[in-house]
Every structure is written in C-alpha cells, then in structure tokens.
Structure 1
Amino acid sequence: MDVQGARNTGEIKVDVAIIGAGPAGLTAGYLLTRAGKSVAIIEKDATYVGGISRTVEHEGYRFDIGGHRFFSKSQQVVDLWNEILPDDFIQRPRMSRIYYEGKFYSYPLRAFEALWNLGLWRSAMCMASYARARVFPNRDVRSFEDWTSNQFGKKLYSIFFKTYTEKVWGMPCNEMSADWAAQRIKGLSLWGAVVDGLKRSLGLNKLNDGSGAQAKTLLETFRYPRLGPGMMWEAARDRIVATGRGQVIMGHELKQLAADSAEENGGGWRMTASSPEGGEVVITAAHVISSAPMRQLAARLHPLPETTLEASRLKYRDFLTVALMIESEDLFPDNWIYIHDSKVKVGRVQNFRSWSPEMVPDERVACVGLEYFCFEGDGLWSMADDDLVELAKAEMAILGLVSPDKVIGGAVVRQEKAYPVYDEDYAANVAAMRTELEARHPDLHLVGRNGMHRYNNQDHAMMTAMLTVENILAGRRIYDTWCVNEDAEYHEAGDEGVERELPARPVTPDQAAALASVREVPARVDERKAA
C-alpha cells in the first residue's frame, strides 16, 4: 500500500475523507489541512496525482494530458497557485491554429486569412453560402448544425466546425443541441471577424484611453509550471503530507461508502478503498468530498440511493494521447493544432516543447502528442500501444507534417472519463441525484468535473473545492457550489485575477434551480423536444 503521510495502514480516522487526487480533491485537502483539519485522500492511480491535469513521464519526456493553460479570472485561484508553487512558473506564448488541407488557420478564425487560404473559388462559395444563410436562415433551429450553418453558412460550417466537433463528441452535429453551439461559440460571427480584420489592417483596433495601445482581445501569454501541470499537484500533495495532518493513499479505488451509524464515530461516514492487489484501507470521517464520477459514486454508496438508476445512465467521453518523439526541430510553434481533416482520426496535436522547453529533454528531438477522442472499450481505446503508435505515424504522414522514418520513439497515455457527456437525459439524472444527496447526506460533498458531471476547467474545479471547504469549516452549507459555471470564452479574452472573490452564492431553498448552468458540451437534439 502506497500511503504517503500515513500514521497507520489499517483503519484511519480523519475529519474529512476525499475521493480523488485531482485538482478539486487536492485543493480541498490542501485548504483543509492548512486550516487544521485532518484528511485522507484516496487515488485510483498508483503513480500520478492530478487526474486529467497530471503530467506523465516516459524516458525523460513529459506529457500534458489534454493541455492545461494556467489562467484564471479568479484572483483567489491565482493566489492559491502562487502559494503552492511559488518559484516554478514560466510565461509562455499562446498559439493555437487549425490545420486543414495542408494549411494553417488562426484560431479563433480570422476572416481574411481564412478566405485567402481557401482560394478564390472556395472563398466565393463560402461567401455565397454565408449570404444565403443570412437572407434565408433556417427558422427551425434545433441542432448544432442548424445554428452554426445559420451563423457562418453551410460551407464554412462543413470546413471549420463539422469534422472536429464530431471527432470530439462521437455523435453527428445534426444530433447535437443548438443550445450548446450558441453558448460555446457565442460572440463569434463571420461579419465580426471581417470588421475586426479591417480594424487591424487600418490600425483602428486601439484602446480609447489616449495610450494608443492595442485593445486586448485574446490571451496572448499564459503561465505554466516548467515541468508540466502535474508539478502543481505533486507540490500540493507534498504540502498536504508535510502538515502531518494529511495522507494520500495511492493505487486505491473506492469500494464502498457507507453512512456510519456507530455512536463512537459520531455518525459520519465509513469508506472502504481497495487496490488491484487486494489491499484494503478503511477510513472513517465526519465529512466526505467526492470528485469520483457520479455514476461510480452512486453504485458504491450504501445504502444505495434511490437515484442510482438515473446516475447509472450518465455517460463519458474518453481520450488517449499518442506521443511521438521525432528526430527533428520543432514541427510548429503552436501549443496545439486542431485537425479539421476527415482523412485522419486524430483530433488535435500538441507540441510539448511549446508548453515548456523542459518537457523535452533533447534539443534535437521534437515531441508531439496526437490526441484521439474515443469511448472506453471501442476500437481505438482497445488497440495495442504499438499499433496506436503506428497509426499516429501514418496519420502524421497523411497530414504531411512528418515522415514516419523520422520517428524514433512513442508512448500511449489513456484517460478514461475525460469529458462528461450532456445527452438528452443528463440534466435530469444529475438533478435527481444531487437533490437526493443534499437532502439525505449534507456531509457528502460533490466537487470537480466528474464529481458534478460538469465540463469544468481546472480552475473551476478548484473553485468548487474552495467553496466546499468554506462550507465544512462553517459547519453548514452557506455557499452553493453549483454556482461555479464555465465561461465559453474563458481562455480567449480578459485579464488574469480580475475577479477578486469566488462566485459564491448563498444556498437558497430551491437547490435544484442552481443546477442551471452554461453548457460547454453538446446535448442531443431530442433534449429540446419538451421545450
């Protein structure tokens, strides 16, 4: 049993038990131990903390699982990052582009550049399609395809939205809710891009404050731990253990979580976690914080919730990265590029050196990560690692980015339950379980992306944990943790730390209403039938 900071390895009694050592779980553990509370954290992974924000190492090469820019509008989150990792941030340039038919396009799209790259004939078709959509829009907008075609025209939709979106979510765009498109792509229009391009070319995109400075529309740089995001969460783990009040139990998954009626424990919870080798640890605690997937938590609660069936219907999109070590200088300067090409399965390609030079130990070698979106158990997920490396090499050749004979090594990293899926029933299923747990178990707290089945950014997951800690320390639910919502343009515009306070909202009697939130992942069209 790998128990870091353990005082015993049999039965552990703490103030708070935490399920999952990702950003939410470790943030909660850090703040609780700093406040004098004792905690025990269980983590399914035997090696890495950080969840999807971990950094995997292979022969000296480091891989970021999905790409994690350290930027937040919340000053409290920024302060916490600085407190945990004060000396190891570097400032990095932000650059992401779209790759389509051998050419790069800025992301977000720049209208003139896009039309120039597409060529005269295709550009004319795009503009004609756009004009038609403006004059004769689809009045019965139900799907992602309907909404995006109305905004950009059918031709631009098919080039810059359809292929990538369907790769990510594994369902046709004409089955995704228009609500998601309106929120995910809000504020972006072809005409707005044209106007912005004209302003830039004429030097009119300046602040109206007499300074002559350019108006800040995009996040141009971001901070990043020099050894990857896992560096942050390894430091958080170490600080938790160093207090003497925290334990991090690696390689152990939740087996059962039971309401503890034993008088000597004062009620609370009795949690059992087990390892694949048969090891077991029992933790008793007054409070439990769970970042485990809601579906998993419901199946392991005792007694079973009445809403177990609803929770069992929640779905997840999985993800894998194939890292290639290439005998070459860096192939491109981007942090990542989006692959809008139906000839290949890869959805995005990361350049790890662009995140941090220290991620790649050899200056003569480029290291890229090809990201594939899949479902656990499907053909991609189940492929042997060697076959996935060969697939990645072949697809890089198809895209014209690198010759396979330049590849000198490869590695595969799988990430299950990377994205909670918002299908037609998810909202009702989440609301049912949340309502029941809040009524029956006020000392069981759901946090983070999978814990709340919400497509949160890293800093939003932290915010849910920060508000939860405030509730625990206060001895009652004073803040509604479900008020933490993601902003569709969060990483594209604005200044760091402009929000001085967390989005804390007092708990209201109507807890179910707090579930309404900005959707960052698509729902199927069927969800709108009842509206």
Structure 2
Amino acid sequence: MSNMQQDERSPVVVIGGGPAGLTAAYELQKRSSGFKPKVYEGGTMVGGISRTETNNGYRFDIGGHRFFTKVSEVEEMWHEVLQDDFITVPRLSRIYYREKFFDYPLKLFNALWNIGPYESMRILLSYFKWQVRPYRNEESFEEWVINRFGGRLYMHFFRSYTQKVWGINPREIRADWAAQRIKNLSLFKAVWNAISGANDTTSLIEEFQYPRLGPGMMWEKTAELVKEKGGEVHLRSEVVRVNRDGNRVTSVDVKHWNEDGSEPVMERVEGDHFVNTMALRDLIQAMDPPPPPAVVEAANKLKYRDFLIVTLVLDHADPFKDNWIYIHSPAVKVGRIQNFRAWSKEMLPDQNTASIGMEYFCQKGDGLWNMSDEDLRELAGKELEQLGLAKASDVIGAAIIRQPKAYPVYDGEYRAALDVLEEWIVSLDNFQTVGRNGLHRYNNQDHSMLSAMLAARNILGEEHDVWTVNVERSYHEEFEVKKPTPEMKAAIAAE
C-alpha cells in the first residue's frame, strides 16, 4: 500500500453514503453554503440498503422501500431532490399462510373465510382473555404482541414469520422492537380499520410514493447535488480507522479500492466534525486508540441479521399483482416476495416479463449465504413454484445480491450494550453517529434521515439528541441533546 497521504483539512467528514450519510451532507449544504462535506462510501454505489441494483436493464431494490412519512422535513427533502420523479403506488400486499392468501391490511371477511368460523371464534376469545389478564411486564416481542392481539393470533400470524426473519425465538427479541415496528396497532384497531375504512397506522397505509426508477434514484440524485455544491462523494472508499485524541476525533484513514483490482490506496482525511453511519460494532473496532474495555465489550455484543435477494426474471408479466407477499409458511425458506413491476413499470426494460425478488433472511456464513448463485436461482425458482405463483421453468434470468448487516438485532443483550456505547459516543466533542446501523436501531428510511438532519443541525450550533429519534415519542417533538456524565469525561481524560 502507498504511504499515507495528508489531505487538506475538511470541515465535515461523513462515513457512509447511504440515506443517513447523504442526508447529513445535503442538510449541511442546504443550511450553510460554506460547507463542503466529504462522504466516503465503501460500496460501488450510493444508497446503502436503499440502493437500486441493475442487471441486464432490470432495476431492483434490496427489499422494497416505501416513501411514506409523517416527518415534514423528510418529505420536503424527497421532493426537493426528485421533484417530478415520484409516482403514487397503490399498496397491495398479502400474507401466505396455511396455503392461503390473507389480505394485508386485514380485510375482515377475507380473514374469516380463510381461517374458518371455529378458529376465528378462538382468536376472538383469546384476544379478550389477554385483554383481561395481560402480561404485566412486556419484556419480549412475544409478550408485547400477545397483549395486543391475543395468543391465538400471535401463534398464527406473528410467531413463524418472526422466527424466519430473525432466526431466533421471538421470546428472545425485545419488546421495544415490536413497539417501534408495529406501533399504534391492536386487533381492535385492525378490525375497526377493516370495517370503517379508517386508517391512521403507518404500517397499514393504502398507497405510498415511490421514485419511478427505484429508491436508489433518490440517493444517486442527492449525491449529484452534494457534488454540485462543492462537496465530495467517494465510492469504493472504506473508512478503516477513526483516529482520536482524547474526546476529539482528529481524522479517518480511508482505503480507496481501485476498479481495476490493483492495490488499494490509503489516505488520511482530517476534519473538524465527523458523522458516522457504519455499524457500531465496526466503528468501535476501528477507533484508535481503542475505547475503554467496557465499551469494546459492549460493541462486541451487538448482533446483526443478514439478507440476500434472488431476483428472478420470468417469461411473462405479473404472476401476481401484489407489491410484496409475506411468506409465513415454514415449508419454504423465502421470507418475502417482491413484484417490482407493481412498484414501478420503469423498473423493467420489457413489460412482457416479470421481475420477482425472492428475499431470504440469513446469517453471513450459513448454508443459505454460502450457496452458489446457481443453486440460489434453482432454490428460488423451485419455491416460487411450490407457492403456486409461477413455474420454475418460467425463469429466464436471475441476479443475486448478498447484504450483510441488513437489520440490527434486538436480543436480550443489545439494550444494556447500547446504553454503554451511547454514553461513550456522546462524550466525544465532534463526532456523531446516525442511521439504522449507526444507532443500532431498526429505523425506517425517514427516521434514519431525520437523525442525520439533526446531526447536521448540531454541527451548525443547535442541540438535538439523535439517539431519541423514533423512540416512543412524536416525530415532531423537540429533541434535547444528551450530555455526557462527568464519570465518562473523566474516564476519557484518564486514557
């Protein structure tokens, strides 16, 4: 590797070119023309897990990304960046369970017909039982759901799918994950929505906006705008070390990978402020000097769920009309299936074909992750046929993307570990961490963006606590900055 090269001083260094990182850069430039942020992204394209990949002219997401939010600043940015490139997409999604399709959001008569009158009555009785005698302390995902839906409905519609997504027993997943992802919903509310047509629950919206060429379009355009205003966005540029002097970060070491496969080039980039979006576990391992042992130990307790998508091209259009289908059946490994033409017709170069995303939740290094691309294509085609959606012989093309650290895991250890990490990170004077993996929080795209906006405003002199975004409070509530404890400041000074 080449010798370290000293770059000119940069006011703001952003680690990661996903939604949070690019939003931080965009917000800085929007609010102050003097900023020229430098964004370093280790991948070959911007957007993180909101990027849009392309194969033979077919565009596909790493999981579907709806553009729906109650955060006015986020919606404003979406439209500032993409302007007329949004389309309005009607939502159609279903659950596949017991070899039948259930409408989602719940359609009362469809659900009753599929589940049968006897089991429907048992679900209702179970619901009332748990309303009368709920779990007093909701510690696990299972307890949280049962208190709101009853044990019988939990068994049918939550247990198997949650096990498939996370790979662990739902009893081991913390209740705060459920409170964040299924907030403001109960069986009574779901039934009332089905009867009345009323709906104020984010997870049950009936239509949403979507960039006509996929979510990656949003972040490709944001990167262009950042560069037009004098900022920099570097791809194939991995931050491998974060250098600090006491409670101030001084620089990052960036490994620039060359397209031609030649030896990477190392660069040291100094800055006055730093915004991080890389996974917290990786961040702490990259710190030089290392944080106190208790902080390193906490970071090593954080776990992640990985993900891969097998996008199949079929020789005919629309084997189903849904945007996506949740697959609760344990008989197949696939967890969710996307129909990208139902998101936007412009995702496909040939309207007489279909582009179907078969999503698998896995761990890096397990059997699914290590399968060859050819075997994954065969598995996905076979399971598509097993579900009665299309024949394996209809498949005329495939593309496979493996995505590590797609979801932060909310297991029994994570909360205590995160508290330790949060206290140490907020004690750094000029360093903030934002986004899904930067906060180890299963945020939607809009909340990742909001955390980045608040970080940018902090650099400009405001005081917001990015750690409280989307934690049991209103989107519009003011966020007070969290101050480091005297003990933590003393620990850093003593290093």
Amino acid across the alignment from 1:48? M
Residue aligning to 1:442: 429
Secondary structure of the residue that 1:284 maps to in structure 2? strand
Amino acid across the alignment from 2:74? V
Give the conservation status (yes or no) of the 8 Å contact 1:144–1:176.
yes
Give the conservation status (yes or no) of the 8 Å contact 1:102–1:400.
no
Give the conservation status (yes or no) of the 8 Å contact 1:98–1:107.
yes
Amino acid across the alignment from 1:331? P
Which of the numbers 398, 407, 410 marks the counterpart of 1:410? 398
Residue aligning to 2:89: 92
Measured in 1, the distance between the counterparts of 2:272 and 2:189 equals 54
1:119 aligns with 2:116: yes
Could you say if the C-alpha distance between residues 253 and 358 of structure 1 is closer, same or farther in structure 2, counting changes exceeding 3 Å?
same
Residue aligning to 1:173: 170
Residue aligning to 1:522: none
Residue aligning to 2:250: 269
Amino acid across the alignment from 1:461? S
Residue aligning to 1:377: 365
1:504 aligns with 2:490: no
Residue aligning to 2:415: 427
Residue aligning to 2:326: 338
Secondary structure of the residue that 2:83 maps to in structure 1? coil
Measured in 2, the distance between the counterparts of 1:192 and 1:333 equals 26
Residue aligning to 2:450: 463
| TM-score, normalised relative to structure 2 | 0.88
Secondary structure of the residue that 1:44 maps to in structure 2? coil
Give the conservation status (yes or no) of the 8 Å contact 1:152–1:189.
yes
1:188-207 pair list within 5 angstroms:
188-197=185-194, 199-200=195-196
1:256 aligns with 2:241: yes
Could you say if the C-alpha distance between residues 60 and 12 of structure 1 is closer, same or farther in structure 2, counting changes exceeding 3 Å?
farther
1:240-275 per-residue CA deviation (whole Å, 9 max, x = no partner) reads 1112x21112112112111269xxxxx852211114
Residue aligning to 1:211: none
Residue aligning to 1:368: 356
1:499-521 per-residue CA deviation (whole Å, 9 max, x = no partner) reads 7xx54323254779xxxxxxxxx
Residue aligning to 1:485: 470
Which of the numbers 272, 276, 287 marks the counterpart of 1:290? 276
How many angstroms does 1:380 deviate by?
1.0
Give the conservation status (yes or no) of the 8 Å contact 1:467–1:504.
no
Residue aligning to 1:517: none
How many angstroms does 1:57 deviate by?
0.5
Could you say if the C-alpha distance between residues 57 and 397 of structure 1 is closer, same or farther in structure 2, counting changes exceeding 3 Å?
same
Residue aligning to 2:387: 399
Measured in 2, the distance between the counterparts of 1:107 and 1:62 equals 26
Amino acid across the alignment from 1:273? V
1:28-427 pair list within 5 angstroms:
28-34=24-30, 35=32, 36-45=34-43, 47-127=44-124, 129-130=126-127, 143-149=140-146, 151-178=148-175, 180-181=177-178, 184-197=181-194, 199-200=195-196, 218-243=204-229, 245-259=230-244, 269-276=250-257, 277-306=263-292, 307-427=295-415
Could you say if the C-alpha distance between residues 268 and 182 of structure 1 is closer, same or farther in structure 2, counting changes exceeding 3 Å?
closer
Amino acid across the alignment from 2:434? V
Amino acid across the alignment from 1:99? Y
For structure 2, the residue ranges without an aligned partner over 5 or more in a row are: 258-262, 487-495
For structure 1, the residue ranges without an aligned partner over 5 or more in a row are: 2-8, 206-213, 262-266, 491-498, 513-531
Could you say if the C-alpha distance between residues 323 and 10 of structure 1 is closer, same or farther in structure 2, counting changes exceeding 3 Å?
farther
Measured in 2, the distance between the counterparts of 1:448 and 1:138 equals 32
Secondary structure of the residue that 1:78 maps to in structure 2? helix
1:452 aligns with 2:439: yes
Measured in 2, the distance between the counterparts of 1:425 and 1:51 equals 26
Paired residues in the alignment total 471
Give the conservation status (yes or no) of the 8 Å contact 1:16–1:288.
yes
1:431-458 per-residue CA deviation (whole Å, 9 max, x = no partner) reads 212212222x210111111111111111
Measured in 2, the distance between the counterparts of 1:438 and 1:132 equals 44
